[in-house]
Amino acid sequence: MNTANEEKLHTRPAAKTLRDPKNKVREPSRGMTVRENDRVTALDTATDKKKEREPEYIRIKTSPDRILMVLVLALISIGSIIVFSASFPYAISQGLDSYYYVRRQVIFVALGLVGMTVAMRIPYDKYKKLAPFVYGAAAVLLVLVLFIGVSEGEARRWISIPGVPITIQPSEIMKIGLILMLAAYFGKYAEYMRRGISVKMRLLYGTIYPAFILFPACALVLLEKHLSGTIIIFMIGIVVMFLGGTSVIMTGGLYGAAGLAAAAAYVMANPYALKRLTTYGNENADILSDKWQTTQGLYAIGSGGLFGLGLGQSRQKYSYVSEPQNDFIFTIWCEETGYIGALFVIALFIALLFRGFTVARRAPDVFSSLVVYGIMSHITLQAILNVAVVTDTIPNTGIALPFFSYGGSSLIMLMFEMGIVLSVSRHSRQQKL
């Protein structure tokens, strides 16, 4: 066994020393009273006794998780195929080359593969140091997009770089920036989330202080008039916080009230968002205007039947489903591959989720575990919301299907995120001594 590639297994992150070698209590840790310090000391002592009874493990640095990599590549390959099938009629209707969208998608995939490879080779612990810079850069870009951003309809979400055929969507960068920041925070203050800590301390460190990370990110994305992006970022943050040990009752109550208030204010201030809500579920809504895209998407899903019409044989992509290569691409996949094809893609996402969670459970420390949980939750939430939108389960809003929908910054950032997960997976193998 190569000892150079071995690392000692840590069952929890290194916390501040709360006792001396003789197990006597020293000065209380910052922010803790003597009584709280005693409680934590007792917990540490119990944990140490438990560890003495458990067999020792070593952590072996290996190659990235192959199953996870195969699942990612399978989703990307299928996504690229359906992007071509769904996009060529739309490209022709716009006076473009029929290969326009798929050619650009292949370029995005190539750039994403480079990003995933680089991210995979960066040691996972380096991302903790990079967290403030990624979060800060995303925040700056979100401010800039309000002034120099490219508009599309009511939204201003993209920054165009002259001479480069890719637009940057800062909200995609903020998703990983938020995950890294919250994971770094809860990795550092994990001791304040334990049982035995006073309600006041858990409220401050588990609910109040993280709000200064989560709420600015949500506010900046909401200013873009990107409600769906704000909801996804908010949900990602909540998942990471709950897994980090924050109180579900305190955080859920306070954040839930704040989120509902912000969403209500946004809907009332933006008539188009209010119209989407009132149109949803309205049987008398005009299917030729207000519910056109949703209705045509449902027609596409229903037309597929059990086995589909065959790849490339969709009829709804011919100017019925609006921009079929984007948010409603899943409807075209269902039409061409049927119920069986839809289940197959959903099964791939479920397999990806469970494999990612396996990596997270075996991660070396709290930070890397929360990062993987956050990334996998991001992909899963976005996939669930996209399928819910195209099946008219929730009101129509712009949510891309991960690895499928046409787009540059979204796909590249998703693949970069998966590179981080693969980096953590290189340190997730354990072996008994």
Per-residue pLDDT at 430: 58
Q: Hey, what are 245's tokens?
A: 């040990």
Same domain? For 34 and 149 the reply is no
Asked whether residue 35 carries a pLDDT value surpassing 90, the answer given is no
Asked whether residue 87 carries a pLDDT value surpassing 60, the answer given is yes
Average per-residue pLDDT for the chain: 84
Same domain? For 277 and 308 the reply is yes
Which residue among 18, 34, 58 closes a domain?
58
Q: For residue 29, give its domain range.
A: 3-58
Give me the mean pLDDT over the 91-115 stretch: 92
Asked whether residue 156 carries a pLDDT value surpassing 60, the answer given is yes
Same domain? For 111 and 24 the reply is no
Per-residue pLDDT at 397: 81
Asked whether residue 26 carries a pLDDT value surpassing 50, the answer given is no
Spatial distance between the Cα atoms of 425 and 359, rounded to a whole number of angstroms: 6
Asked whether residue 351 carries a pLDDT value surpassing 60, the answer given is yes
The whole-model pTM stands at: 0.84
Spatial distance between the Cα atoms of 196 and 173, rounded to a whole number of angstroms: 37
Which residue among 15, 32, 58 closes a domain?
58
Asked whether residue 103 carries a pLDDT value surpassing 80, the answer given is yes
Per-residue pLDDT at 416: 96
Asked whether residue 111 carries a pLDDT value surpassing 80, the answer given is yes
Same domain? For 173 and 244 the reply is yes
The per-residue pLDDT for range 217-232, each reduced to its tens digit, is: 999 999 888 888 899 9
Same domain? For 414 and 299 the reply is yes
Per-residue pLDDT at 370: 96
Which residue among 58, 76, 104 closes a domain?
58
Per-residue pLDDT at 37: 61
Q: Which residues pair with 39 in a beta bridge?
A: none
Spatial distance between the Cα atoms of 287 and 82, rounded to a whole number of angstroms: 26
Give me the mean pLDDT over the 78-93 stretch: 93
pLDDT band of residue 77 (cuts 50, 70, 90) is very high
Same domain? For 25 and 88 the reply is no
Give me the mean pLDDT over the 368-396 stretch: 93
Same domain? For 333 and 385 the reply is yes
Spatial distance between the Cα atoms of 409 and 146, rounded to a whole number of angstroms: 18
Per-residue pLDDT at 427: 82
Contact 175, 226 (CB under 8 A): no
Same domain? For 53 and 189 the reply is no
Of all residues in the chain, the percent with pLDDT exceeding 90 is 52
- Mean pLDDT is lowest, of 40-54, 190-204, 336-350, for 40-54
- Mean pLDDT is lowest, of 150-154, 333-337, 423-427, for 150-154
Give me the mean pLDDT over the 355-375 stretch: 94
Pick left, alpha or beta for residue 8 (phi over 0 → left; psi -120 to 50 → alpha; otherwise beta). Answer: beta
Asked whether residue 67 carries a pLDDT value surpassing 60, the answer given is yes
Neighbours of 309 (CB within 10 A): 17
- Mean pLDDT is lowest, of 154-158, 233-237, 403-407, for 154-158
Number of domains in the chain: 2
Same domain? For 223 and 254 the reply is yes
Of all residues in the chain, the percent with pLDDT exceeding 70 is 82
**In degrees rounded to 5, what are phi and psi of residue 111?**
-65, -40
Per-residue pLDDT at 167: 80
Same domain? For 26 and 153 the reply is no
Same domain? For 40 and 85 the reply is no
Contact 41, 18 (CB under 8 A): yes
Contact 305, 317 (CB under 8 A): no
Same domain? For 339 and 390 the reply is yes
Asked whether residue 12 carries a pLDDT value surpassing 50, the answer given is no
Contact 383, 349 (CB under 8 A): yes
